[in-house]
Amino acid sequence: MDYYSSQISRLIEQLSALPGIGSKSAQRLAFHILHMPEEDVKKLAESMTEAKKNIHYCKECLTLTDEELCPICRNMQRDHRTIMVVEDTRDLAAYEKTGKYEGVYHVLHGAISPMLGIGPNDIRLKELIHRLEGDVEEVIIATNSSLEGETTAMYISKLIKPTGIRVTRIASGVPVGGDLEYIDEVTLLRALEGRVEL
Residue span 137-176 as binding mask against Zn ion, x where in contact by CB under 5 A, dash where not:
----------------------------------------
CA distances from 119 to 13, 59, 116, 155, 162 (A): 33, 22, 9, 10, 21
Cβ closer to Zn ion: 28 or 109?
109
* 192 lies in the binding site for Zn ion (CB under 5 A): no
Would you mind telling me the total number of residues written for the chain in this entry?
198
Amino acid at 148: E
**Interaxial angle between packed helices 6-16 and 23-35, expressed in degrees from 0 to 180 and rounded to the nearest 10:** 120
CB of residue 61 to Zn ion, shortest distance in Å: 3
Which residue in the set 11, 58, 167, 174 belongs to the binding site for Zn ion (CB under 5 A)?
A: 58
Angle between helices 185-193 and 89-98 (to 10 degrees): 90
Among 11, 12, 26, 61, binds Zn ion (CB under 5 A): 61
Does 70 engage in binding with Zn ion (CB under 5 A)?
A: yes
Site of interaction with Zn ion (CB under 5 A): 58, 60-61, 70, 73
